[in-house]
Amino acid sequence: METLYDASVYPDTVLKTIWGAGNLGVAIANWWMLGWPERVSKLLTQRIYEDEFHRQLSQMEEILARTADTDYFSPGGGHNVGLQPGATKLVEGIPGNEVEISYPRITSS
């Protein structure tokens, strides 16, 4: 599991919420704390951190669910992503207007 940055600032109930959301929850909490520490402090003081956290978590889960075929982008997914030589071909576009795209093969292990 990811390390939670500055865990000592969170009350126990908030810590349980963050840890309960797994790596994604820790990633969100770290993103907030590192980017907007004053906002985090304000949310904690107003006792609305958990509400906002759940809202962000739901949005991220929805995005990840819609992009399940791109799981190598998910935080803390445990994947070692790399590019292998040798492009694969992909045909996409509006019917009758297809284009051929060459791209490196992406692997995860």
For 31-86, what is each residue's pLDDT tens digit?
999 999 999 999 999 999 999 999 999 999 988 888 776 655 555 554 443 434 44
- Return the biggest CA–CA distance within the chain: 59
pTM beyond 0.75: the answer is: no
Is the distance from CB of 23 to CB of 75 less than 8 angstroms? yes
Domain ranges of the chain: 7-73, 79-109
